[in-house]
A and B are shown apart, each in its own frame.
Chain A
């Protein structure tokens, strides 16, 4: 009986159906279609931004077996660098030209992403490399690095909240009937989707991607086949850090006002996504991020006091059902 149910569940999409099921339950509880659409789009946009931050961490966990508690520093730096670039290009941001609006945003995201990649390279070489294969020291040294990074941000940008100007073309909402959808949320969702498609292509259609997938399963065997896994580690760490910074930049635009706590606040959700998605799995990260994004928005509307606890409960429920997450990388 259980086997038949399980086979039927898998045939209709398996765990990929969970966001649909969550959305349907929320629809019944919310009652008003326009509110439900607004919350669903907000949840998807939030999920995609969390996916940007979480996917790199998941690969770093899965491939390198590194517990990087400093990952949120890249989120914070990405947010503050993007805010500074947007402030510097203020005339482009607020001007009437849609091309300049988008160019300003792209420059902000590119600067954040490039900084993330370079800082990721330095972080891996100086801080992470000496503590491979030692989880306790990894936790201690990456948390120490996080504190130092937060202090650097505090020194450079100060402790007061910083406004993040949003490009004029992405302000406002699209109104269809009584449904109102923020344009920035649509943009965030589409950008996240593009990054996911690019990552999926890179992992499944390129030789480097093949090596990363193999390395997540068995690093030693990848070396025995003649590949230098340490070079792959650097590339993955840089990519993961760059994605975190990109996510931070997008999140800064979404929030409109950022503080030095931005990285730490997001890391709770990022860790939940990585754990419920399954280590080393990009599909798992996407699924986990969408579930977390939807859950956060639905619960914040339905039961505001349960907002923070809801994703913890989601994580516990999923881990009780699937201890290795929803879509972990296959091993062996």
Chain B
């Protein structure tokens, strides 16, 4: 097993008066795609937002490459090489595609070679480079959100339900893109779509009611129908 780039140790998070994460412990190995599966309200998004510092862990530790980031402000976590693609994509609709990307580029300057690779992954980004982002389709907005996350080399990318509401053809394109992106970085993917997750994930953790209830390889989960029945029926609708 490779060394963990990210480690969550007994993380508890409250949102207002609700105790949402009840001691999440999780190791994310360096490189590849790692999936956090769970039904709606299980704590997937809360886990990602807690890692990113957008919601604070009340108890426990979050460690990125041996550095405790539990109490770090969100901008500092981002500057350590962590990118976040939220469920709502978080694109700036009033800005052009170029401006959205430029915000994430170091010093506002693009690495041309990297940009060409992004255009190869998502040709729509080049086509709509000067278009306002609010005019893009849902799939194109998701592509923009992911392009923005990889405009610089990141150590870890947190992606929250990227397939939500997307057409099957777009999802297939996303699978290819994620495989390419995972060659140079680590992706922690939150998903409900088991087919999408199975196509990409190396490891999987299943979260339910704010606790990790299963962890292992994706291959083992995909091959074991009993495990799937136990966890998928518990925690998600398998598409």
Contact = CB atoms under 8 A, between A and B. Distances in A.
Contacts, number: 66
A214 B74 contact: no
B220 interface: no
Interface residues of A, number: 22
Contacts of B102: 210
Contacts of B74: 220, 223-224
Report whether over half of chain A's contact residues are helix, strand or loop; otherwise say mixed: helix
Contacts of B134: 330, 332
Contact of A207 (B78, B91, B108): B108
Contact of B92 (A207, A217, A229): A217
B86 A210 contact: no
B95 interface: yes
Given A210-B103, A223-B78, A226-B78, A217 B94 contact: yes
Contacts of A216: 94
A85 B90 CA distance: 48
Contacts of B92: 213-214, 217-218, 221
B95 A220 contact: no
Given A210-B99, A218-B92, A330 B54 contact: no
Nearest to B79: A226
A127 interface: no
A228 interface: yes
Interface string A166-190: 0000000000000000000000000
A222 B94 CA distance: 14
A188 B113 CA distance: 50
Contacts of A210: 95, 99, 102-103, 108
A2 interface: no
Interface in B91-130: 91-95, 99, 102-104, 108
Interface of B: 52, 54, 73-75, 78-79, 83-84, 86, 88, 90-95, 99, 102-104, 108, 132, 134, 148
Given A226-B79, A332-B134, 7 more contacts: A210-B102, A214-B95, A222-B103, A224-B52, A225-B78, A228-B75, A332-B91
29 contacts: A207-B108, A210-B102, A213-B92, A213-B95, A213-B99, A214-B92, A214-B95, A217-B92, A217-B95, A220-B54, A221-B92, A223-B74, A223-B75, A224-B52, A224-B84, A225-B78, A225-B103, A225-B104, A225-B148, A227-B75, A229-B75, A330-B93, A330-B94, A330-B134, A331-B93, A331-B94, A332-B88, A332-B91, A332-B134
